[in-house]
Amino acid sequence: MAKLRSLLLFTLLASLSTVLAESWKVNNINIQVVSKDGAKKAEHKLEYPYAIQDLSAEPTDSLKLSFKLENSVRPHQAMVVFQSQDEFQDEVMVAASVKGSGKGRLELNFARGDTKFKYGTRKYSMTFLLGGPKVDEPYKYTLGHIEVKGPSVNPPTRPTRVEYKSQPEIHHQFRPDQKLINQAISGAFTILVLTPFAALFILWGQLGIKFEPLKALATKPLDLIAALVFFGSLAGIEYVFYSYWTHVTLFPVLQYLGVLSLVAVISGRSVLSTAQTRRLQRTAGSAKKEF
């Protein structure tokens, strides 16, 4: 039981020491306002939570901040945030450097600093911030206020303040459906397109054309199958073109055409070879009859 109490007490002390170690300890905070020629115009030694109220600077002055960190770890972020005390609430963040010994410093030349310092004479609040992943509680110290005078010659023009407000609601309008051609007109043109085919069959009938090759193909099943495959592939290609015109996209059409074209080439060679052989046979038969 005594060992358990000792263990609990040791754990409590260890956790307490951890909590104490997770707080930033900053000492020797010193702020100076230095003129252009290096003369010291103001100096304040600060201790939390004391804040400066009557600090002022000319547009050519510099602000210097020095401090000493007592922690063994170093912050990942050390800065002073200047915020204007007017309707614009402009913020300027100036980073401070911290050495391995814990000494930190910051120097801001208002003439070379952010343009926001040159928009006329304005008062700024100064907030000192420290932070890092190894210390849970960040350090925040409001150092006070400083009045920075604007340049008397050629002051920059302040950009117009952007007002963010709600815009009128956008109502999406879909494109109206495309009007289709009257069915009677569409049917008339369909008949007009099919008319040449009707005229072709009528002329074939008048000329007495006979499809004797079909009878010859019927006696040779392989040649008949090749002919059917060839004409079927041609019909399939025509159907693919029709589908592309109506509803199918380009890439599927290219795939279908690639397959059907290969079938048409292979079967067409066989059909044309058969037709050439049959024509040569007829030519040879006619020559024998003449003799």
pLDDT digits (tens, 9 = 90+) for 81-119: 999 998 888 899 999 999 989 999 999 999 898 988 988
pTM exceeds 0.75:
no
141 in Cβ contact with 127 (< 8 Å): yes
Q: What are the contacts of 235-241 at 24+ separation with CB within 8 A? A: 236/260, 237/261, 237/264
**Residue 183, class by beta-carbon neighbours within 10 Å (0-12 exposed, 13-18 middle, 19+ buried)?**
exposed
What is the structure's pLDDT at 13? 44
- Compute φ and ψ for 149, nearest 5 degrees: -80, 145
**What pLDDT score was predicted for residue 2?**
46
Q: What are the backbone dihedrals phi and psi of residue 180, each rounded to the nearest 5 degrees, phi first?
A: -85, 155
Q: Where are the domains of the chain?
A: 23-148, 211-290
Per-residue confidence (pLDDT) for residue 83, from 0 to 100: 95
Low-confidence ranges of the chain (pLDDT < 50): 1-10, 12-21
* Residue showing tokens 């547009």: 59
Q: Does the CA dihedral 258-261-262-263 come out positive or negative?
A: positive
Helices 221-246 & 250-290 angle (0-180, nearest 10): 150
Which of the listed CATH numbers 1.10.3470, 2.60.120, 2.60.40, 2.70.50 matches domain 23-148?
2.70.50
Residue 6: the pLDDT is: 47
Q: Give the neighbor-by-neighbor strand order of the sheet with 52-57.
A: 52-57, 135-148, 122-132, 77-84, 91-95
